Structure 1
Amino acid sequence: MIETLILLLQLTIAVVIFAVWIVRPKLETNYRAGNATNIFEEFEVYGLPNWSVYLIGGTKLGLAMLLIAGIWYSSVVQYAALGMGILMAGAIICHLKTRGDPLSRATPASLMLAMCILVTCLA
């Protein structure tokens, strides 16, 4: 039962990351900070340098791949979930520091952090 929950959470985290960073990086969403219409503008709103988009995106995609690999190599799951959780905590902080934005914009990152915590603790 717990193993199935962990597996479902791993896959959910990975699929969401792939969707955000591969399918939708240039698309406008209701959760982008400020008036950003894509992920590059969103990082600008946060005051982060352009290169950080590639660093954070690459790191998140790598961790998502490790979560998928964790289906067969369980020893990497906790590390990948912990790393992803740290990045999600950073995303939440960025959302909360953006003046004028509603708290709801931090909801996706908050849910991802909760899933990462569950995987880290249960795996």
Structure 2
Amino acid sequence: MDVIDYIIIVLKVIVGLSILNVWLIQPKKPTKWRGGNAKTIVEEFKVYGLSKSFCYVIGFLKVGLALILLASIQFEALTLIGSLGLTGLLLGSIIMHIKVKDELYKSFPAFLFIVMNLIIAFESI
């Protein structure tokens, strides 16, 4: 394995575990990254004008894609599904922050993870 292969594994772990942390461990905890003045993920989706059901759908997709990204460490064929799927959902996060006129810094985690996912995807081609 080359150094870049190890870097890609580290990026997959960072992105995958971070997404799982947000959606499974901290969904009810306030953070400075939440849209508007939301304290929880469900409140954040309400700020965006989206339903609780849609929040659960997005959560299911993000958790599933994060697990796929982590699984792609062992099963390389899953890499593009996980990385590009998360990229699309994270782009939606940025659009929602812009929609509600959040401060730019609130989009930073999504932007950073998009960059990481695009590096992962590019290296897997």
- State the AA in 1 paired with 2:119: L
Q: Which residue of 1 aligns with 2:114?
A: 113
Show the 5 A alignment for 1:1-123: 1-99=3-101, 101-123=102-124
2:110 partner letter? A
Q: Within 2, Cα distance between the matches of 1:105 and 1:68?
A: 25
Secondary structure of 1:55's counterpart equals helix
Residue type at the aligned position of 2:48: Y
- Amino acid aligned to 1:87: L
Q: CA RMSD, aligned part only? A: 0.8
- The alpha-carbon deviation at position 52 of structure 1 amounts to 0.8
Identity %: 37
**Partner Cα separation in structure 2 for residue 35 and residue 65 of structure 1:** 29
Separation (CA, whole Å) in 1 of partners of 2:123 and 2:83: 11
Spell out, residue by residue over 1:44-95, the C-alpha distance to the aligned partner (whole angstroms, 9 max, x if none): 0011111111100000111111111111110001111000000011101111
In structure 2, distance between residues paired with 1:51 and 1:93: 19
Q: Distance in 2 between matches of 1:21 and 1:98?
A: 21
Question: Which sections of structure 2, spanning at least 5 residues, go unmatched?
Answer: none
Q: Give the CA deviation at 1:41.
A: 0.4
> Residue type of the partner of 1:60?
K
Alpha-carbon distance in structure 1 between the residues aligned to 2:74 and 2:106: 34
